[in-house]
A = this chain, B = another copy of it.
Amino acid sequence: MAGRARSAQEPGSRQRLVSAAVTLLARQGYEATTVNGIAVEGAAPMGSFYFHFPGGKEEIGVAALGYGAERFAERLGEVLAQQASLAEALAGCANWLADELVASEWADGCPIAATALESVTRSAALRAAAAAGFERWCDVLRDRLVSEGLSDEAATDLATNALSLIEGAELLARAQASPYPLYRAASALRTLATAALADPADAP
Of the candidates B107, B131, B174, B181, the one whose C-beta lies within 8 Å of that of A175 is B131
Contact of A114 with B107 in the complex, beta carbons under 8 Å: no
Question: Secondary structure at chain A's binding surface: helix, strand, loop or mixed?
Answer: helix
A98–chain B nearest beta-carbon distance, Å: 12
Q: How many residues of A contact B (CB 8 A)?
A: 48
Residues 138-178 (chain A) with a chain B CB within 8 angstroms: 157, 160-161, 163-169, 171-172, 174-177
| Bound form: Cα–Cα A30–B107 in Å | 17
The contact string, 1 if C-beta is below 8 Å from chain B, for chain A 29-64, is: 111100000000000000000000000000000000
A66 at the interface (CB under 8 A from B): no
A108–chain B nearest beta-carbon distance, Å: 9
Contact of A174 with B118 in the complex, beta carbons under 8 Å: no
Q: How many copies does the complex hold?
A: 2
A13–chain B nearest beta-carbon distance, Å: 25
Of the candidates B130, B164, B174, B195, the one whose C-beta lies within 8 Å of that of A117 is B174
A197 at the interface (CB under 8 A from B): no
A191 at the interface (CB under 8 A from B): yes
A80–chain B nearest beta-carbon distance, Å: 18
A175/B130 contact (C-beta < 8 A), A157-B184, A169-B164 known:
yes
A116 at the interface (CB under 8 A from B): yes
| Bound form: Cα–Cα A177–B166 in Å | 19
Closest 3 CB pairs of A and B: A168-B168, A31-B31, A164-B168
